Amino acid sequence: MSVFKDEDPRIHGIKTKIRVVPNFPKPGIMFQDITTLLLDPKAFKDTIDLFVERYKGKNISVVAGIEARGFIFGPPIALAIGAKFVPLRKPRKLPGDVIFEEYTLEYGRDRLEMHVGAVELERVGAEVVECACVIELPDLQGRVRLNGKPLYVLVEYH
């Protein structure tokens, strides 16, 4: 499908399947629950298809997925485009030597780890083609932390 993303009817269908849960996991947070999206096979497939259509044929060798949502969407996208999948894990979940990066959540701070050598890093020549996510929360300004890397988002919540 070569429709501009904002005009693609699949986007609306995906957004309607994401349940917003107020005051979870703590008061004042509006949590975007993707489990309701996963319960709808068409919406789940549309989500994967939109990413695959964007990245297929772009010679991407690695898809990295952030725990836990990235573990749901990343592997089928990686398989469909012929790339390997690298999980970015929460602290102390990987054995052996790891590298890590800290980040801010809508309700606190955390960090992600991956095995040393799992992928070639930017500082030694790897190219980050684009960052992608199903949901963006622009108020958290996560985009700013991407150091100018492009970001592809299906759904925004303000």
pLDDT of 131 > 90? The answer is yes
Query: What is the reported pTM?
Result: 0.84
* Residue 46 confidence (pLDDT): 98
pLDDT of 64 > 60? The answer is yes
125 or 95: which carries more pLDDT confidence?
95
Enzyme catalytic residues: 69, 106
DSSP assignment of 44-86 equals HHHHHHHHHHHHTTS---EEEEETTHHHHHHHHHHHHHT-EEE
Q: Would you list the domain boundaries of the chain?
A: 5-156
Contact 106, 113 (CB under 8 A): no
The tens digit of pLDDT for each residue in 12-38 reads 999 999 999 999 999 999 999 999 999
pLDDT of 118 > 90? The answer is no
pLDDT band, very low/low/confident/very high, at 102 (cuts 50, 70, 90): confident
Q: Per-residue b/e over 114-149, b at no fewer than 16 CB within 10 Å?
A: beeebeeeeeeeeeeeeebbbbbbeeeebeeeeeee
Determine the topology of domain 5-156 in CATH. Rossmann fold (3.40.50)
Mean pLDDT of the chain: 88
* Residue 1 confidence (pLDDT): 40
Neighbours of 87 (CB within 10 A): 20
CA 95, distance to chain mean position in Å, is 23
Percent of the chain with pLDDT over 70: 91
Give mean pLDDT, residues 99-106. 76
